[in-house]
């Protein structure tokens, strides 16, 4: 599901951590299947946090 949205799973998880978003992996899997819009929003938030963290470094 992450790859379909242009990111790897490891970068997605790192981005969530950088964004301060704590979501159980089971919940992430459920969102990916049952609420793709919410999952996409999480991927976007994680990507933005990763980009901001990279600029700060």
pLDDT digits (tens, 9 = 90+) for 4-30: 999 999 999 999 999 999 999 999 999
Is 3-56 a CATH 3.40.710.10 domain? no
Q: What is the mean pLDDT of residues 32-50?
A: 96
Q: Read off the pTM.
A: 0.89
Return d(Cα 42, Cα 57) in angstroms, integer.
Answer: 22
Number of DSSP helices (H) and strands (E) in the chain, helices first:
3, 0
Domains of the chain, by residue range, sit at 3-56
Q: Which two tokens stand for residue 28?
A: 């992430």
pLDDT at residue 11, rounded to an integer? 95
- At 53, the pLDDT band (50, 70, 90 cuts) reads confident
Q: How many CB atoms lie within 10 A of CB 21?
A: 12
pLDDT at residue 49, rounded to an integer? 94
């Amino acid at each position: 599901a992450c790859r379909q949205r242009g990111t790897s799973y490891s970068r997605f998880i790192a981005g969530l951590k950088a964004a301060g978003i704590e979501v159980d992996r089971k919940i992430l899997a459920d969102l990916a299947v049952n609420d793709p819009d919410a999952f996409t929003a999480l991927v976007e938030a994680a990507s933005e946090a990763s980009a901001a963290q990279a600029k700060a470094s």
